[in-house]
Structure 1
Amino acid sequence: MGDRAGEGLTLANIGLTLEKHKELELAIVFYKQSVNVREGIRQDIRTLPREQQESYTQTVANSYRSLADLLLSQGRVLEAQQVLELLKIQELRDYTRDTRAGGETQGSPLTPVESRVVPPYNNLVNLGLKLTECERKPPYCSEREQLRALRDQANAEFNKEADKLRALAKQQRQRDPAQIQQEELTVAAQKVVQSQPKTVLIYPLVLEDKLWLVWGTQAGKQGVVFNSKVVPVGRKELATTVVEFRQLLEQPGDVKELQKVSQKLYQWLVAPLRAELDSNHIQNLVFSLDRSTRYIPMAALFDGKKYLIESFNTSTILTAGLTDTSDRLSPKIDNDPVLALGLSEQVGDFKSLPNVQDEINGIIRSQVNPNGIYPGLSLINKDFTKDAFKYLIDHRILHVATHAQFISQNPDDSFLLLGDGNPFKIPQVKTLTDLGGIHLVVLSACETARGGEDKEGIEVSGLSYYFLTSGAKSVIASLWLVNDASTSQLMRYLYQNLATGKITKTEALRQAQLTMIAGNQQNNNNKDRSSVRLTPGNSGQDASISRNLSHPYYWAPFILIGNGL
């Protein structure tokens, strides 16, 4: 019929039916074919009304999740990891409405034995169509009996190949898992794990009735080996706990209550792996998060005694395939000049951010400011216009300290606020041509990594995604409204740590956070780098108060996405 979307849906429904009948090997074949059809028609859905697009893409995502779940239940962890990568790319494409996001994808390849099931299945469908047309109404066509015989023959051939598939699957389950993984491991995932010693790559997969943890580690001569474990917590309970955690995080309140909820999440997301992490002396946790887990600052998970950041370096990636680990900052700071752009004055209805000036002065070293850390160029307030981005080509780090707003319903309307009061919108970020040499983008602004109330959490990539896909290697961004003074302090610690030239970006951020956890007292005037507009009578000049910056509200919002080296 030429209805490719209908074909993909039908194949998924056949997979679901086979799964319910415990024909798991065959179900995997049909789910894979469904995924591959959807990969092939990504461009077509843009012509559908938005409501139909959302319905269709949700159905597609469910097919990816069902396939990954089945593969994991069969111990086919590497194939599941590849499907999880496809799922994340598909979600990015749907959210950004960019069918090219994530580059070219090859779908979920069928194994040679799985491929042998497809021709007799297709033949069976074609014969069924002809027989249906023949028997539409009497008198039936003269080829009726012949078509029936051919259909029965095709059905027997299909069952024959299906039996071979079942037999081989049984044999495969008896093979050495390490040998299978050596044959199947994707290069991208391998590079992420091997980018630095003692690293683990972790994929949570959130399903309606359970949570899968899929993780890959370096295992000596075996290379990178992936494993999986199921956790008995469903999507709804997990999401409810995440919401409670975030509400407690977004204001410096009762830390004991926060730690109690945080420990609950830790028990689901990290505790099942902790013994292996410790026995392998793991130091670096790289998360590729799913659904509501994207809203969690993993560094703030609490194990009962201390936060995760006190034991591990933590970072996140959008997908392994979109993470370029081939580059890192130079150990000599003069080789990594910084372009610092900021807004400290009140512009229109957006309140002033008085600490931005000190923040940037503490970062940029120049003739007029010899006490800064890095060489570079600073453009603040009226000098921070869209033309400021033309200086990207001469720098390795981009630091932006201003108001920001991410609009979940329409990402193209999201913006960074320029010093002249104009918004720098997503379409303009997409046109930046000199980000290829930028190794790190620091978005020292509010909620640059989080948008609206999307329960799936895909908007957490926020503005970060657009910088990464334009060539930048990594982004540090915030998950909630950040405090102006404490952010300025954290940024100074971050750049001081980077300037040593001895540690990675992830470690530099971690050490900055640990400094604040240690109980540093800082006088701050409680201004948020938010996009909240002033109302009459609210000048934004809150009274100065002294607070202990060890509360996660102050240090946990900033996450590193991408290359953590």
Structure 2
Amino acid sequence: MGAAGNYANSTFYRFRVIRGCISFLLIAVTAACSSFYDLIDSRLSDRAEHERHAGFTAYQKQDYLAALRHYQNAQAYLPSDHGDAMRADLYYKMGRAYLKLQNSSAAIESFEQALTLQETGSVDDRAILHNMLGLAHQKTGNIDKSRAHLSKALELRVTNSDTLGRARTLGNLAATYLAQGRYIKAITHYKQAQQLFAEADHATSSDLGNIQTNLSSVYAEMGQYEKALTHQYRAMAIYQQAGNTAGIASAYHNIGYIESELQNYTVALDAFRQAIALRETIHDRFGAAETRNNLGMLLNEMGRQEEALETLFKALPVLEELHTRIQIAATYDSIGSVYAQMNRHAPALDFFQKALLIWHESGDRESERITLANMGDLFTQSGQKTLAIVFYKLAVNISESIREELQILPQQEQKAYLNRVQDFYRKLADLLLQQDRVIEAQQILDLLKIQEAAQFLGPVRGNTRTAAGITMLSPEQQIQKQYAQLLQQSIRVGKELAALHKIDRDIRTAAQNEMLQQLIKQEQQLQRGFVSFIESNEIRDLIDQLSREVRTQMPALEQLRPLRDNLKQLGDHVVLLYPLIMEDRIELVLVTGLTPPLHVPVPIDRQVLNQTVLDFRTALIERNDTVQDYAHSLYRWLIKPVEHILNEVNADTILYAPDGILRYIPLAALHDGQQWLVQRYNINNITAFSLTDLDTRPAKETKLLAAAFTTGNYTFTIGEQTFDFRGLRYAGEEVNNLSEIYPDMTKLLDKNFTPEVVVTDINHFNIVHFATHAALVPGKAYESFILFGNGERVTVDQVKYEWSLTNIDLIVLSACETALGAVFGQGEEILGLGFLMESAGAKSTLASLWSVDDRGTQLLMNQFYRQLRLPGTTKAAALRKAQLSMLNEQPVTTMPGDDRGVQIEQNATPDQNRSTAHPYYWASFILIGNGL
């Protein structure tokens, strides 16, 4: 519960590192203010001028609601014969106030009004407004519009030779790439901005310091905390030299965040306290409250809950006075998290409900789903597991609907945030399996795999099927409906109260005062009403009804029908296998076209499983004879418990959706004590059933593009990793053999194998074969790439955003280096490879799980394509037959260390007659996607 509570605060106060990014963006606001201020002249009426000045004063005091009222009054008092530029200035200032109040849609409307009035205005003024519109659209998650406005601002500033303005807008563009998780693009833009700041005549210490802070934010989001600290301390030095107290305070704030992520709690504690002291010195009440929230959550993580509450309750009234509702909601959620950690369920529920009300009213669905998940944790903690499922489902469904609308994940999301999102999907799946709700759990497993791919690739495009999320059963729908009604009543009362509070106390009528008192009582009743709602007899009856429905399995059968029909269309002998790894067991979920869904819990400690997978993989790669022992253990855990069902339905094909660390090993290489699993089944890995079109059949006429890197040696460094790749000795022979099987194929070798040629012609083919290197780095999609024969690299970002593979039935990477090192992740990069190619349009991908033997791969590929050429042979069947051919112990001649891409020692002696029967040679390649 504590971790979930902490991540809830990522909605605002875990925005700590990105705080520097906000400072950077506001430089443009400051510049804009000075530009427009000059437009105000003596022709303004005294009253309008008075209101404008009062608005400026209130804005400086961080009373943004009051500032907005004054600016609106100034608009009303402004004589109709005053120029457009003056009215545009007020719209601009209103937009700034709306941004501070987290009302981005109103800010956009105000900035657009100003831009309309400034059609004939100066280039500088229009650039400023496009810049602000870019910022506002980014806050709504509309990155395309944000980038369009920022690009226009950049164009205007280039036209006007505004070096400083270009630097600031480039920084804002960088933030849009950071929001999408496109870290290399973000860093590139920030560094370009940094160079322009160095060239600009009037760059300030804030400009120079904030660019370092923003670079720090990128590295922190990438999880490279040491680099993040380096840049943040550079920012600190710049701020200190300039005597910029606000910058110094912000640097301490961010250092506190980074150190807390590194669990250096004492250092983080000191940094937060220094930030608070400095912000109080300069009367930055909002900033001090922000840091107090971070400090409160840090104290909670340290187990000092009473101090955490004291700190959070000190921040809350300041935020309430400043009317920053989004930040107020985040603090409510923080307080709820601390109470939950203390097992004080009633106050925790109360504060979660207060936060949820604001999220729902403001339309902040991302934050709403986080608090809903926290409430799911709380109900689980208090033993109300059926009710917990309802709230977890609400959270999941909001998450899925956001992705379907192509909303990007919030800019402040950290890697830890994604891990926690994954965590509540797993919690829901676990609760559903505990109640034998297998089909609902299977849906969650699908969605979970999509979320995990997002960790590797960044935000993953959803579709109408994923947007539907997880099915709400009839009683759950009733609970949801009644809860929604309670929320709407609370929102209505809240809006009426807010309207009355805006009326000055001295001029309120007696009737208005009476209504105010009534509304306050109603609000208090509604706040208590949520607890009463949860404990009411009606909700208890619905939960009992839900339990009965789950026991009858009728809703599950309705959900199962489309899935079973799909499997039947593929053939009665096709089954779907999902293993879900829990702390103390594996939950095996098996779906067939002939039987109800089956789930079998297999007791096994996660650490024992991890060690066995590691030992199995090591034995595979090192070609040890012990490989069968580990393969048999895994067989007993993954296949044996459902073997009787596989036999009953005469299964010959397993659609396999591995979870977590199981993605690092091939199912085909499991052993039942007598034979390998590949000798019994076709095996087709799938990324997520809901996103895989298994009914699509390959084109009748094969058009093959084969490309290879055969000669040369390329060395380069990406991030902190050095790559040294040499030509593949047998890749040329591999491609030439393909020309014998497919005489009309197109061949590209070495210098002719370039990204430009491939991207131009790729959709003329339906099979693409790359005999080259690919590095898929766990957790670092931005450092992952495919190497071309001329030494150029194409990154995951480029494939995802720039390639189109809509005509491709199969893409083969016959030399893939996953760059695992000695540490396992959760296999997101393997899952991500399939998602990457699918998202670009390809139906299926063939790739390897380890650096493969060059000569052995050439033999396997030759057999695979010969089998694939036979009429009626599926890709999965062709791969299996090719693997079986290697099991016939064909002798091959290899060089020591002759894995694809590994440097061969000089004067090495060839190994004669090495057997290909070991799974090292034939099991590394897995088929991902539609292999049927």
Match of 1:260 in 2: 629
Larger radius of gyration: 2
> Which one of the candidate residues 281, 288, 296 is aligned to 2:657?
288
Distance 1:85 1:149, change over 3 A: same
Whole-angstrom CA distance in 2 between matches of 1:540 and 1:354:
16
Letter in 1 for 2:704: V
Equivalent runs, 1:83-98 vs 2, <5 Å: 83-98=444-459
2:777–2:820 contact (8 Å) kept in structure 1: no
Change (3 A) 1:148 1:414: closer
Inter-partner Cα distance in structure 2 for 1:449 and 1:473: 25
TM alignment of 1:390-469, pairs within 5 A = 390-430=760-800, 433-447=803-817, 453-469=823-839
For residues 14-25 of structure 1, the aligned pairs below 5 Å read 14-25=375-386
Aligned partner (choices 704, 714, 717) of residue 348 of structure 1: 714
2-structure distance, mates of 1:430, 1:358: 30
Task: For 1:174 and 1:246, locate their aligned partners in 2 and report how far apart those are by CA, in whole Å.
Answer: 41
Distance in 2 of aligned mates of 1:451 and 1:82: 33
The partner residue of 2:880 within 493, 510, 513 is 510
Determine which of 723, 737, 742 is the counterpart of 1:362: 737
Matched, 1:383 2:749: no
Alignment of 1:203-218 (within 5 A): 203-218=578-593
RMSD between aligned residues? 3.0
Distance in 1, matches of 2:540 and 2:670, equals 47
* Mapped contact 2:476–2:546 kept (Cα < 8 A): no
Once the two structures are superposed, residues 176-198 of structure 1 have per-residue CA deviations (whole angstroms, 9 ceiling, x without a partner) of: x4x43331137467535632330
| Counterpart residue number, 2:694 | 325
Equivalent in the alignment of 1:107: 469
Q: Which residue of 1 aligns with 2:399?
A: 38
> Match for residue 560 of structure 1?
927
Query: For 2:744, what is the secondary structure of its paired residue?
Result: strand
Deviates more, 1:56-65 or 1:154-163: 154-163
In the TM superposition, what is the alpha-carbon distance from 1:307 to its structure 2 partner?
0.8
User: 2:546 is matched by which residue type in structure 1?
Assistant: A
In 2: Cα distance, 1:446 partner to 1:84 partner: 27
Equivalent position of 2:674 in the other structure: 305
Give the paired residue count.
Answer: 536
C-alpha deviation, 1:82, in angstroms: 1.1
Deviation at 1:142, TM superposition (A): 6.9
Map Cα deviations across residues 349-371 of structure 1 (whole Å, 9 max, x no partner): 43232211111111113xxxxxx
- Separation in structure 2 between the aligned mates of residue 285 and residue 377 of structure 1, nearest angstrom: 33
CA displacement, residues 480-523 of structure 1 (integer Å, 9 cap, x when unaligned) = 00000000000111111111123211111101111111211122
Spell out, residue by residue over 1:146-176, the C-alpha distance to the aligned partner (whole angstroms, 9 max, x if none). 666666666555423322222212322442x
**Residue 227 of structure 1: how far off its partner (Å):** 1.8
CA spacing shift, 1:241–1:95, aligned 2, 3 Å: same
| 1:188-209 deviation digits (Å, cap 9, x = unpaired) | 6753563233010111111122
1:452–1:471 distance in 2 versus 1, CA, 3 Å: farther
Structure 1: gaps (5+ residues):
134-139, 366-371
Q: How does 1:41-190 map to 2 (within 5 A)?
A: 43=407, 45-48=409-412, 52-100=413-461, 105-121=467-483, 155-158=531-534, 159-175=536-552, 177=553, 179-185=554-560, 187=562
Identity of aligned residues (%): 34
Following superposition, the deviation at residue 19 of structure 1 comes to: 2.5
CA deviation vs aligned residue, 1:36-95 (integer Å, no higher than 9, x gap): 3333556464411xxx52222222111111111111221211111111111111111232
| SS of residue matched to 2:791 | coil
Counterpart of 2:443, as a letter, is: Q
Partner of 1:230: 601
Q: 1:47 to 1:168 in 2, by over 3 A?
A: same
Aligned 1:491-506 pairs, distance under 5 A:
491-506=861-876
Matched, 1:246 2:617: yes
Shift of 1:114: 1.1
Q: Which amino acid aligns with 1:408?
A: P
Deviations along 1:410-432, one digit per CA (max 9) or x if unpaired, are 31332222111212322332356
CA contact 1:385–1:420 (8 Å) conserved in 2: yes
Which deviates more, 143-152 or 70-79? Answer: 143-152
The SS at the match of 2:812 is strand
Counterparts of 1:542 and 1:403, CA distance in 2: 25
Instruction: Name the structure 1 match of 2:912.
Output: 545
1:230 CA displacement: 0.9
Is the CA contact 1:498–1:505 (under 8 Å) kept in the aligned structure 2?
yes
Does the CA contact (< 8 Å) of 2:704 and 2:742 recur in 1?
A: no
AA aligned to 1:398 is: V
3-state SS, counterpart of residue 467 of structure 2: coil
Which residue of structure 2 aligns with residue 137 of structure 1?
none
Please state how far the C-alpha of 1:108 moved relative to its aligned partner: 2.3
Distance 1:312 1:201, change over 3 A: same
**Distance in 1 between the 2:486 and 2:635 partners?**
50
Q: Aligned AA for 2:782?
A: D
Aligned partners of 2:456 and 2:780 also within 8 Å: no
Residue type of the alignment partner of 1:259: Q
Contact in 1 for aligned 2:766/2:808 (Cα 8 Å): yes
Contact map agreement 1:188 1:320 (CA 8 A) in 2: no
Which range moved further: 20-29 or 500-509? 20-29
Cα gap change, 1:441 to 1:542, in 2 (>3 Å): farther
Asked if the contact 1:86–1:105 (Cα under 8 Å) also holds between the matched residues in 2, the reply is: no
The structure with higher relative contact order (CA 8 Å, sep 6+) is 1
- Which one is further off, 548-557 or 151-160? 151-160
If each structure's strand is expressed as a fraction of its own residues, which one has the higher value? 1
Paired amino acid for 1:203: Y
Residue identity opposite 1:417 in structure 2: L
Question: Structure 2 length normalisation: TM-score?
Answer: 0.54
Over 3 Å counting, the alpha-carbon distance change for 1:190 and 1:294 in structure 2 is: farther
Say if 2:677 is the partner of 1:316: no
What is the letter of the counterpart of residue 489 of structure 1? L
- Give the Cα–Cα distance (whole angstroms) in 2 for the partners of residues 149 and 432 of structure 1: 55
Q: Distance in 2 between matches of 1:193 and 1:235?
A: 34
Tell me the CA shift for residue 449 of structure 1.
Answer: 9.9
Partner Cα distance (1:452, 1:443) in 2: 23
Q: Is the 8 A contact 1:120 1:155 kept in 2?
A: no
Does the CA contact (< 8 Å) of 1:57 and 1:94 recur in 2?
Answer: yes
Runs of at least 5 residues in structure 2 that lack an aligned partner in the other structure:
1-357, 498-515, 716-724
Secondary structure in structure 1 of the residue aligned to 2:768: strand
2:844 is the alignment partner of 1:477: no
Q: What is the distance in 1 between the residues matched to 2:688 and 2:573?
A: 20
Specify which structure has the higher proportion of helix: 2
Question: 1:27 deviation in Å?
Answer: 1.4
- Which deviates further from its counterpart, 150-159 or 3-12? 150-159
Conserved 8 A contact 2:779-2:828: no
